[in-house]
Amino acid sequence: MGPAMPLFGPVTPNFLAIWSGVNPFASSSLACSTFSNHWAEALACELDALSARRVEGLFLATGALQRGHFLLKSGRHGDRYLEKWALLQHPDAAAEVCALLAERALVVAQAAAVEIDLVAGPTTGGVLLAYEIGRLLGVRGIFAEEVAGDTGAVRREFRRGFQIPPRARVLMVDDILTTGGSLQALLPPLLAAGAHPIAAAAVASRSPDLRSIEIPGRESIPLIAAPTPDLPTYEASECPLCAAGEPI
């Protein structure tokens, strides 16, 4: 067996420090009235750029980012594919991305003046993510699995003795987000238990315009995604790769 793939240690920026209202440049000669009005926004953008390069580097180093012609689970086509298990098989790389998501989830919770009580994800990638992000946040991580009903319709259930306390504030997590369907499927069992989903997080998003998960009759849930490279998707009828005759 060859040596383990070398991966850098965690270098996740401290987003809590950015949004806590403490100006890190307050004692610096850079501090001035103009800068102090914009320091948080500018610094956050810079750290987002650093995080994006870092996350893309992890995808490349683990072989998770692939190029070709792919049919996605959503039915859409894409010319880039993120193989989640290529990333998740490397604990250090997966833990670093999870740390970024956990930190951003804390920012959302802090802004809403709530705490995160529980992390929940769908099988199968969401199992590892829920456990690791739960560990980082100091809370339980649980998962929902697919169950077929009498009519053949598939739904998500929290089984295996998982308990969801009423009014528990839940962070939902998933691996690769395209339409948000897997996260949406977590909502019925969570809401039936009386839980309050406060945010959703994904390792990567193929839909950058998707900023929230909608719940009919309730406030939308903010969506957090690690900074990822552009991952365009197409309907089969509009796929440029299909038009060029490239096989899937």
| CA–CA distance, 204 with 231 (Å, rounded to integer) | 9
| CA–CA distance, 205 with 94 (Å, rounded to integer) | 16
What is the number of residues in the chain? 248
Mean pLDDT of 82-89: 94
| CA–CA distance, 72 with 77 (Å, rounded to integer) | 6
Binned at pLDDT 50, 70 and 90, residue 8 comes out as very low
Q: In this predicted model, what pLDDT tens digit does every residue of 30-79 receive, in sequence order?
A: 333 343 445 445 545 555 666 888 898 999 999 999 999 999 878 899 99
The DSSP-derived string for 130-149 is HHHHHHHHTSEEEEEEEEE-
pTM (predicted TM-score): 0.76
What DSSP designation does 106 have? Answer: H
Query: Rounded to whole angstroms, what are the CA distances from 186 to 3, 10, 45, 126, 148?
Result: 39, 30, 31, 11, 15
